[in-house]
Amino acid sequence: MDTPAYAVAYLRDVDFGDEIVEYIRRIEATLAPYDGRFIVHGGHLTPLEGDWDGDLVVIEFPRRQAAIDWYESRAYQAILRLRTGNSQSITAVVDGVPPGYRATQKIVEVLGSE
């Protein structure tokens, strides 16, 4: 069974000018062929630890390869510079967990036993 994957971006120093507006207007169409959907899009953030000086974006995909294919797609690559040229950002794709996942499963994964 495929587990969801997430494209995650941490954006700082966003120049919210015409190019970022164009990026936002065009990104939705790049997600559709890969079944991507916004989970978090720079919403209100309450820091609990550390210093947060930016915005968080999380986009869900049905599986890891869909997230990578979206990022590498011609459609997304055509607008990528609109974001990277107007913000400082860190981006990654991270796997989600399957239904019923328990935190103790990480112990087995890392150590080989409980």
34: domain CATH number is 3.30.70.100
- At residue 42 the predicted structure's pLDDT band, cuts being 50, 70 and 90, is very high
> How far is it, in rounded angstroms, from Cα 98 to Cα 48?
27
pLDDT at 86 over 80: yes
> Domain residues for 57?
5-111
Q: Could you tell me the pLDDT band of residue 56, with boundaries at 50, 70 and 90?
A: very high
pLDDT at residue 55 greater than cutoff 90 = yes
Q: Phi, psi at residue 89, to the nearest 5°?
A: -145, 155
**Comparison of pLDDT for 2 and 42, the residue scoring more:** 42
Query: Could you tell me the pLDDT band of residue 99, with boundaries at 50, 70 and 90?
Result: confident
Number of domains in the chain: 1
